[in-house]
Chain A
Amino acid sequence: MHEPFVKKSILPGFSLSLGFTIFYLSLIVLIPLSMLFLKTSSLSFKGFIDVIMDPRTLAAYRLSFGTAFVSAGINAVFGFIVAWVLVRYTFPGKRIVDALVDFPLALPTAVAGIALTELYTPTGWVGQYLNVWGIKGAFSPFGITIALTFIGLPFVVRTIQPVLEDLDPQIEEAAASLGANRWQTLTTVILPIIFPALLAGVTLALARAIGEYGSVIFIAGNMPMKTEIAPLLIMTKLEQYDYAGATAIAIGMLLISFLLLAMANFFQWKTSKNLGKA
């Protein structure tokens, strides 16, 4: 059976609103982004692979994606705890904490980068204690992870929070009356319900972290093969007037980010389905 493109509705303005959406999307996002592909097409396929598979590029990808994954993992655990505490418990200053969760979104990344670097250098407020333990704060993958954790936290908390708030109390009560303890209720009842939201939040944090530049550049250390993130490598290529090489690396990052986002949207869609129209 052939399905129509759009389901019939008595509401007006579908073609107008969709048309405008696609127009504006093309103008601001798609046409500029297509420049990446246009520019890279000046490379042969082999040339493209050479850039992407260069050991230095691979090292930068590994670092960018690796630190992004670790920070997303940290945020998954602690972001969940923060969201849980904010939804379920009362404590003094809770409203302030709740409001400040969005702080990393609102703070300019350069400011975040400078502040975090100040904190985590060997003479900084936190760095000096790390130094005693022999841990290098700033200018190491550890420092990059810290900056990315800072950037990603609000994404995780803000996607889990509404789901936790909407959680039907009867589910937990039912579990308890069936003899489950809190831990069992958490792992077998609550976690499965919020899992898609958690995953969606983590994916968003991840996608943001992979491309992050402003806050990382100050704290990274920028050593080739060791602490050089992929966006910096793009900058480096640009400075050598190698536009094709820069766009090739950019496309590699873009494709992976796009996949991650598509996954996030899929999970979010699944969450809204799970919650259902109660």
Chain B
Amino acid sequence: MNKQSITSFLMPFIIGLAFITSAAAENKVTLLNVSYDPTRELYQAFNQSFAQNWLKLTGTVVEVNQSHGGSGKQARAVIDGLEADVVTLALAYDIDSIANLTNLIPKTWQKRLPNASAPYTSTIVFLVRKGNPRNIKDWDDLVKPGVSVIMPNPKTSGGARWNYLAAWGYALKKWNNDENKAKDFVAALYKNVPVLDSGARGSTTTFVERKIGDVLIAWENEAYLVANQTGKGEFEIVMPSLSILAEPSVTLVDGDADRHGTRKVAQAYLEYLYSAEGQEIAAKNYYRPRMESVMAKYASQFQKVELFTIDDVFNGWKAAQAKHFADKGIFDQIFQVK
């Protein structure tokens, strides 16, 4: 059947559906922020603050709708037509994918906002149960036999890719850039993982609510959220000797924002992330702020740790993705050799 005939065959049906969807226009601006899993609390607070600020500034009411899920899944939804005004994802690679597969975002998106379009940073830490019964201090303790490690699936979770790369970076440093040693190390690490959830939140639930595993490898912000709020007093955070600087990126989805006529407010929304208020909200939600004055204020909250960047060790996301996470990449190889 050719495309034409299918289209004309379905037409009456589609028009009928369109009637259902044409909701009445309202007297306010709505934005859709498509984000990844652990940012729920951050953007709940941030959206409220931004809305108040915008109302004061312009007199218009702005409502920000949120969609959360695994970073890769969310990027795919935008590619498939989820009309996001802004995306705030776990890694630049996912936004690159949107830019490459659609013309919604220009390929130079990372140059449009300061700090390579990442208004806050984070890193990868360990969360252990109270008293650290397994005595976990550093990456080496995770590959010991009998230690059960919880982390999500790097194929579906952005956070999990940061986990994987942090471990790889540590192993490279330990064995003087011997890739085979690094591969063995990461393989041994994944041997200790009993369940690979599809998203960072899934892993946290497994570790916190189902009480499975000795250690959770997680975003710093996620670990603090659990240690200080949801599971107060039951967990401790362990900072490894070396970790990766995770830079979750944000950008405007030009194609959709222009169609909705929301470019101005969407742009302001992203810029507000870099303002003192935005940076404070990020810090309060345990994301490392870029602004030095805010960082200084919350310094006691963030432990000092030696961090490497993805550009230093992996030559950027594109190379890392192709080598490690693509089909038949190193992650797949680890699971296929017994």
Chain A residues packing against B (C-beta within 8 Å)? 27, 31, 34, 55-56, 117-118, 121-123, 138-139, 217, 221-225, 227, 232, 235-236, 238-242, 245
Question: From A31, which residue of chain B is reached at the shortest CB distance?
Answer: B6
Interface string of B157-192 (1 = CB under 8 A from A): 000000000000000000000000000000000000
A-B contact pairs, 8 of them (CB 8 A): A34-B1, A117-B210, A122-B212, A223-B195, A224-B196, A236-B155, A239-B156, A241-B97
Given A236-B155, A239-B76, A245-B327, the answer on whether A55 and B336 have CB atoms closer than 8 Å is: yes
Given A56-B336, A239-B72, the answer on whether A222 and B195 have CB atoms closer than 8 Å is: yes
A239–B10 Cα gap in the complex (Å)?
28
Q: Which 10 A-B pairs have the closest CB atoms?
A: A239-B72, A224-B335, A221-B195, A139-B195, A121-B210, A222-B196, A236-B155, A123-B211, A225-B335, A239-B156
Closest approach, in angstroms, between the C-beta of A178 and any C-beta of chain B?
57
Give the contacts of B73-132 with A (CB-CB under 8 A). Answer: 73, 76, 79, 97, 101
Contact residues in B for A118 (Cβ distance below 8 Å): 210
Closest approach, in angstroms, between the C-beta of A192 and any C-beta of chain B?
45
Q: Determine whether the beta carbon of B198 is less than 8 Å from that of A240.
A: no
Q: Determine whether the beta carbon of B156 is less than 8 Å from that of A235.
A: yes
Q: Determine whether the beta carbon of A239 is less than 8 Å from that of B155.
A: yes
Contact residues in A for B332 (Cβ distance below 8 Å): 56, 224
Given A117-B210, A139-B195, A222-B195, the answer on whether A241 and B336 have CB atoms closer than 8 Å is: no
Query: Does B193 count as interface, using CB distance less than 8 angstroms?
Result: yes
Query: Does B261 count as interface, using CB distance less than 8 angstroms?
Result: no
Q: Determine whether the beta carbon of A241 is less than 8 Å from that of B79.
A: yes
Query: Does B326 count as interface, using CB distance less than 8 angstroms?
Result: yes
Closest approach, in angstroms, between the C-beta of B66 and any C-beta of chain A?
20
Contact residues in B for A239 (Cβ distance below 8 Å): 70, 72-73, 76, 155-156
Chain B residues packing against A (C-beta within 8 Å)? 1, 6, 9-10, 13, 70, 72-73, 76, 79, 97, 101, 153, 155-156, 193-198, 210-212, 325-327, 332, 335-336
A262–B90 Cα gap in the complex (Å)?
45
Closest approach, in angstroms, between the C-beta of A248 and any C-beta of chain B?
12
Q: Determine whether the beta carbon of B197 is less than 8 Å from that of A222.
A: yes
Task: Tell which of A55, A222, A241, A245 touches B198, judged by Cβ atoms closer than 8 Å.
Answer: A222
A117–B209 Cα gap in the complex (Å)?
11
Given A31-B10, A117-B210, A221-B196, the answer on whether A240 and B335 have CB atoms closer than 8 Å is: no
Closest approach, in angstroms, between the C-beta of A219 and any C-beta of chain B?
10
Q: Determine whether the beta carbon of B327 is less than 8 Å from that of A240.
A: yes
Q: Determine whether the beta carbon of B327 is less than 8 Å from that of A241.
A: no
Contact residues in B for A223 (Cβ distance below 8 Å): 193-196, 335
Task: Tell which of B10, B76, B97 touches A238, judged by Cβ atoms closer than 8 Å.
Answer: B76
A139–B335 Cα gap in the complex (Å)?
17
Contact residues in A for B155 (Cβ distance below 8 Å): 236, 239-240
Contact residues in B for A139 (Cβ distance below 8 Å): 194-195, 212
A221–B327 Cα gap in the complex (Å)?
20
A139–B327 Cα gap in the complex (Å)?
24
A232–B73 Cα gap in the complex (Å)?
13
A240–B97 Cα gap in the complex (Å)?
9
A224–B155 Cα gap in the complex (Å)?
10
A123–B211 Cα gap in the complex (Å)?
7
Contact residues in B for A117 (Cβ distance below 8 Å): 210
Contact residues in A for B13 (Cβ distance below 8 Å): 27
A27–B326 Cα gap in the complex (Å)?
36
A121–B150 Cα gap in the complex (Å)?
14
A215–B195 Cα gap in the complex (Å)?
16
Question: From A27, which residue of chain B is reached at the shortest CB distance?
Answer: B13
Closest approach, in angstroms, between the C-beta of B115 and any C-beta of chain A?
27
Closest approach, in angstroms, between the C-beta of B94 and any C-beta of chain A?
10
Question: From A245, which residue of chain B is reached at the shortest CB distance?
Answer: B327
A16–B93 Cα gap in the complex (Å)?
54
Which of A121, A122, A217, A245 counts the most B-chain CB atoms under 10 A from its CB? Answer: A121
Q: Determine whether the beta carbon of A123 is less than 8 Å from that of B1.
A: no
Contact residues in B for A240 (Cβ distance below 8 Å): 72, 155, 325-327
Question: From A221, which residue of chain B is reached at the shortest CB distance?
Answer: B195
Given A27-B13, A34-B1, A56-B332, the answer on whether A241 and B76 have CB atoms closer than 8 Å is: yes
Given contacts A31-B9, A221-B194, A240-B327, 6 further A-B contacts (CB under 8 A): A31-B10, A121-B210, A121-B212, A222-B197, A232-B198, A236-B155
Question: From A55, which residue of chain B is reached at the shortest CB distance?
Answer: B336
Contact residues in A for B153 (Cβ distance below 8 Å): 222, 236
Which of A224, A235, A238 counts the most B-chain CB atoms under 10 A from its CB? Answer: A224
Closest approach, in angstroms, between the C-beta of B55 and any C-beta of chain A?
37
Which of A27, A122, A222 counts the most B-chain CB atoms under 10 A from its CB? Answer: A222
Question: From B156, which residue of chain A is reached at the shortest CB distance?
Answer: A239
Contact residues in B for A238 (Cβ distance below 8 Å): 76
Closest approach, in angstroms, between the C-beta of A49 and any C-beta of chain B?
15
Q: Determine whether the beta carbon of B198 is less than 8 Å from that of A217.
A: yes
Contact residues in A for B72 (Cβ distance below 8 Å): 239-240
Contact residues in A for B193 (Cβ distance below 8 Å): 223
Contact residues in A for B101 (Cβ distance below 8 Å): 241
Question: From B100, which residue of chain A is reached at the shortest CB distance?
Answer: A241
Task: Tell which of B6, B79, B336 touches A225, judged by Cβ atoms closer than 8 Å.
Answer: B336
Contact residues in B for A122 (Cβ distance below 8 Å): 211-212
Question: From B190, which residue of chain A is reached at the shortest CB distance?
Answer: A223
